[in-house]
Amino acid sequence: MAELKYIEGYPEYMYQLIQRVHETREKRKTFEFPAMTKEEQEEILNQLHPDNISGGNREISIGPNKGEMAVNQIVDLLEAYPLIEEGEVDLTHVDYTPDIMIIGGGLAGTTASIWANVQGVPNDKILLVNKLRHGDANSIMAEGGTQAADREVDSVQRHFLDTMGGGHFTNKPDVVRALVEDAPLIMNWLHELGAMLDREENGDFVEKWGGGTSIKRLHSCRDYTGLEEFRVIRDEFRSREIECIEHFPVVELLTDGKGRVSGAILYNLETGEYKVVQAKATILATGGFGRLHIRGFPTTNHYGATADGLVLAYRAGARLRDVDTVQYHPTGAAYPLQIIGYLLTEKLRTSGAQPVNIDGEAFVYPLETRDVEMSAIIRECYVRNKGITTPTGLIGVWLDTPMIEVKNGQGYIDKAFPGMRRMFSRYNIDMRKNPVLVFPTLHYQNGGVETDPWGHSTLEGLWLAGEVSGGVHGKNRLMGNSTLDTMVFGRRSGISAAEYVKSGKDFAALSLEHTKRYVKMLGEAGIGPQRRSPMLLPEYRGKAALARMIDVF
Amino acid sequence: MKAEQNRVLNSQEIMRRISTASKPIVSGVEEKDVEHWVTIYIMGKGYKVPADLTILTAIEYAGYKFIRGCGCRQGFCGACGTIYRKKGEYKLRTGMACQTRVEDGMYLVQIPFTPAVKPSYDLNKEEYAVSTVFKYYPEVARCVSCNTCTKACPQGLQVMDYVQAAIKGDFKAVAEESFDCIQCGLCALRCPSEIVQYNVAQLVRRMYGKFGTGPVPAYVTKRIKEIAEGKFKEDMDRLTKLSKQELEKLYSERKRESEYKETKDSD
């Protein structure tokens, strides 16, 4: 194959196709592609959303959700044997005895730790455990923003309706109520901590549209919203000197054998040593599952997003919900190769960028809910054959980013999207001047371990916060509700767990009775020991290198 | 029925094609598909890797499984700070492993941890003044304006400029210039004066966000009060009890903001 000639970061043939996008921009400037009717939405979801295409889901054959459908990769992890075998660990020697253990140091877990401390639990009685570094989480990659119905023209009722509708009315209403009613308080808390929220000239918060919302409600910090929120919250956490250990994933929860979660077994990723934690209350905030690459999609998620929390909680006996659905973000990067699957925030579309096909035509309303928007992009690429094929064979559509400055004025991208612009400029692409190529990418675990308005799981002693939980977003999450979820339910679970501890609850016995029972069920269901979980880390080592590895130590 | 079957087949075929097209990203490139190769040196040890990879994915291709030095993989978390030199050059370069394409003859070392000071403070008890910076980070005064920090920043921030602004008490300048910092720590490790630039900036940004950008808008405080006083209680009690059909009706009838405004104007 001849060497490709590159112009402005694109292979010549792609660069030529871009000219059609330039030609139609003026016409598209005033034209808004109509939103789909409810019937059209249902039809396209039914036809092209991966959740609805057979082959992706199957029945769970054991445990609290036996007989219910879940994504194949989740079922694989649930129908798997523990990493630790019975008798391998000594539970009589306890290494840590915090009142509250928080598992997972993203926005949810860090917020929970702080609020447990605010609520009166001493900093040395709180333990935050991290699989990787404190902050290696999806939270810090959240670009778009956080929803809160604080403006006069907005209302919590409206936020409630938008969220329920976005989730196709499968959300738990009382949990959504907690989400929307706490949102303004969370914005105030962020300000009190010193987060630099975007402001208008008059001091108002900048509030933008989000896909599927009926009003401008999205608060942001440039396109580093999650990073800024997390940085200040982690700094507050560190100032409070709450105990924190890193590179120490939980490989199993411990229970008293009667349904109460009582601790966990941690594993030192570097030395292989295990540690035993006995805690009065445990908050699970382990995030989502992007690194399972469901249906073979690339992902926006961080390295450790391997659904560990679902496995740990399920084995201990907790119920899951809505784990049959997956959120794909409509606009992942599709070119260049090095950044495929990376998140290109929805805020680009709320700021005017339109999805455009190979002929330079708009083909979808830019702010449909994420599931509808992604299905429309798949249709354009694979049914109507109007996508653009990259040199590596990926097909995508253009996201016309120069339109953002046509609509908002020159300099807007530098101000509002410094992260995006920096990422593309590393590959010689100027998103102010040329469109970027996009295709849907695996983004969010809609469901999870069933939660309630105070973050309780169905087990005593176990709370949930953030992406690991199920019920808040139903079967589809709205933009700006995930960072909100982490902080609302981080705070609520931290407070609730603190109240539980303060009510005089003592430590409970430590046992692996639940895994023993689980292994028995696996055997009875005819599932062999070929799979083990939690996964902890995905496998990206080169095939050639892996094929020749030997174990000599 | 037959049409139905065709539809299913087509959709499944689409899923299969998407999955195939994504394979190089999801499960790694196949040796046979690689056209261009480069040699990189991971802590001195040479490996032949595909030229299209980033430093991060090239290290994985070579057979390393990351425990440290790999976080978000998308340039936001600062876990994969890397120092490298190219063959024949004296210059030490820096980059995020996940954001830098490999080049032939790179000598690489990853810096996954920075032993940096981070004092405890309660913003509510601190003065919004330069004295607070000196109280917690007196070493900022040692800055010799060598600009090594700026050169080390993989985000391309003017680090020395914001350190100088911090010394002068220009908190707005510090906050604006340091905003895109991902706290990878490379500046601090290169600093001859042992300043922890990114933690200094974190303190200043928090002070500026809290005291320098104005109070929280009045409508936020008002809404919090309304919620606490139960203004929406009755309505929310009713909404949370509605059937799916009733909710669907309300949802489809709700107006978008622009329409809402129009109605209000015409009132």
Distances (CA, A) of A102 to A127, A130, A249, A276, A459: 6, 9, 12, 14, 16
Q: Which residue of B has its CA nearest to A214?
A: B256
Which one of A155, A186, A196 makes the best mutation probe of the B interface by having the most chain B beta carbons within 10 Å? A196
Q: Report CB contact under 8 Å: A393, B74.
A: no
Residue B64 and residue B97 in one domain: yes
Q: Report CB contact under 8 Å: A382, B18.
A: yes
Q: What is the CATH number for A343?
A: 3.90.700.10
- Is residue A512 in a domain? no
Please spell the DSSP secondary structure of A159-190, one letter per residue: HHHHHHHHTTT-S-HHHHHHHHHHHHHHHHHH
- Report the residue count for chain A: 553
- Residue A152 with chain B: CB contacts under 8 Å: 219, 222
Report pLDDT digits (tens) over B190-210: 999 999 999 999 999 999 999
With contact defined as beta carbons under 8 Å apart, do A462 and A318 qualify? yes
- Residue A543 with chain B: CB contacts under 8 Å: 27-28, 30-31
- Is residue A551 in a domain? no
- Report the residue count for chain B: 267
pLDDT of residue B7: 52
Domain of B231? 218-247
Of A176, A227, A539, which is closest to B76 when you measure between CB atoms? Answer: A227
Residue A294 and residue A228 in one domain: yes
Give the gap in angstroms from C-alpha B265 to the nearest C-alpha of chain A.
Answer: 12
Of A165, A187, A541, which is closest to B64 when you measure between CB atoms? Answer: A541
pLDDT of residue A1: 43
Residue A314 and residue A346 in one domain: no
Lowest mean pLDDT among A27-31, A415-419, B3-7, B58-62: B3-7
pLDDT of residue B176: 97
pLDDT less than 70: residues of chain A: 1-3
Closest CA to A108 of A510, A485, A470: A485
- Residue A423 with chain B: CB contacts under 8 Å: 74-75, 99
pLDDT of residue A387: 97
Q: Report CB contact under 8 Å: B72, A541.
A: no
- Is residue B10 in a domain? no
Q: Which residue of B has its CA nearest to A233?
A: B206
Q: Report CB contact under 8 Å: A340, B25.
A: yes
Residue A204 and residue A304 in one domain: yes
- Is residue A418 in a domain? yes
- pTM comes to 0.96
Give the gap in angstroms from C-alpha B30 to the nearest C-alpha of chain A.
Answer: 8
pLDDT of residue B267 exceeding 80: no
Report pLDDT digits (tens) over B94-144: 999 999 999 999 999 999 999 999 999 999 999 999 999 999 999 999 999
**Residues of A labelled as active-site residues:** 329, 349
Q: Report CB contact under 8 Å: A155, B241.
A: no
Hey, what long-range contacts does B162-168 have (CB within 8 A, 24 or more apart)? B162/B197, B162/B201, B163/B195, B163/B197, B163/B200, B166/B130, B166/B133, B166/B140, B166/B200, B166/B201, B166/B204, B167/B130, B167/B133, B167/B140, B167/B141, B167/B143, B168/B130
Of A195, A293, A378, which is closest to B209 when you measure between CB atoms? Answer: A195
- Final residue of a structural domain among A443, A463, A491: A443
- Is residue A109 in a domain? yes
Residue A300 and residue A391 in one domain: no
Alpha-carbon torsion A221, A233, A171, A322, what sign? positive
- Final residue of a structural domain among A417, A443, A469: A443
What's the CA gap between A537 and A308, in Å, rounded? 9
- Final residue of a structural domain among B75, B110, B145: B110
Largest CA distance in chain A: 74
Residue A163 and residue A237 in one domain: yes
Give the gap in angstroms from C-alpha B120 to the nearest C-alpha of chain A.
Answer: 4
What is the count of structural domains for chain A?
A: 2
Residue B106 and residue B136 in one domain: no
pLDDT of residue B27 exceeding 90: no
What is the pLDDT confidence band of residue B260, given thresholds at 50, 70 and 90?
Answer: low
Give the gap in angstroms from C-alpha A510 to the nearest C-alpha of chain B.
Answer: 29
Q: Report CB contact under 8 Å: B217, A205.
A: yes
Q: Which two tokens stand for residue B203?
A: 């303190």
Of B24, B123, B219, which is closest to A152 when you measure between CB atoms? Answer: B219
- Residue B66 with chain A: CB contacts under 8 Å: 303, 537
Domain of A379? 6-31+327-443
Report pLDDT digits (tens) over A89-115: 999 999 999 999 999 999 999 999 999
Residue A428 and residue A492 in one domain: no
- Is residue B69 in a domain? yes
pLDDT of residue B215 exceeding 50: yes
Give the gap in angstroms from C-alpha B204 to the nearest C-alpha of chain A.
Answer: 9
pLDDT of residue B2: 43
Q: Which two tokens stand for residue A124?
A: 């040395």
- Residue B119 with chain A: CB contacts under 8 Å: 239
Report pLDDT digits (tens) over B146-170: 999 999 999 999 999 999 999 999 9
pLDDT of residue B266: 33
What count of CB pairs under 8 Å joins A to B? 289
Residue B198 and residue B234 in one domain: no
Percent above pLDDT 90 for chain A: 94
Residue B227 and residue B203 in one domain: no
Q: What's the whole-number average pLDDT of chain B?
A: 92
pLDDT of residue B259 exceeding 80: no
Residue B194 and residue B226 in one domain: no
> How high is the ipTM of this complex?
0.95
Residue entry with tokens 């820096």: B94
- Residue B123 with chain A: CB contacts under 8 Å: 193-194
Report pLDDT digits (tens) over A48-92: 999 999 999 999 999 999 999 999 999 999 999 999 987 899 999
With contact defined as beta carbons under 8 Å apart, do A194 and B210 qualify? yes
Q: Report CB contact under 8 Å: A423, B99.
A: yes
Q: Report CB contact under 8 Å: B26, A132.
A: no
Residue A358 and residue A462 in one domain: no
pLDDT of residue B41: 98
Residue B198 and residue B146 in one domain: yes
What is the pLDDT confidence band of residue B263, given thresholds at 50, 70 and 90?
Answer: very low
Q: What is the CATH number for A476?
A: 3.50.50.60
What is the count of structural domains for chain B?
A: 3
Q: Report CB contact under 8 Å: A204, B25.
A: no
Q: Report CB contact under 8 Å: B61, A56.
A: no
Residue B56 and residue B132 in one domain: no
Residue A419 and residue A466 in one domain: no
Cβ neighbors of A140 (< 8 A, separation 6 or more) are A106, A226, A227, A230, A231, B72, B76, B77
Give the gap in angstroms from C-alpha A225 to the nearest C-alpha of chain B.
Answer: 11
Task: Name the more confident of B32 and B85.
Answer: B85
pLDDT of residue B262: 40
Q: What is the CATH number for B63?
A: 3.10.20.30
pLDDT of residue A499: 98
- Is residue B19 in a domain? no
For residues B181-198, average pLDDT:
97
Q: Report CB contact under 8 Å: B72, A419.
A: no
- Is residue A459 in a domain? yes
Q: What is the CATH number for B134?
A: 1.10.1060.10
- Final residue of a structural domain among A443, A471, A486: A443
- Residue B62 with chain A: CB contacts under 8 Å: 542, 545
Cβ neighbors of A261 (< 8 A, separation 6 or more) are A253, A254, A255, A282, A316, A459, A460, A461, A462
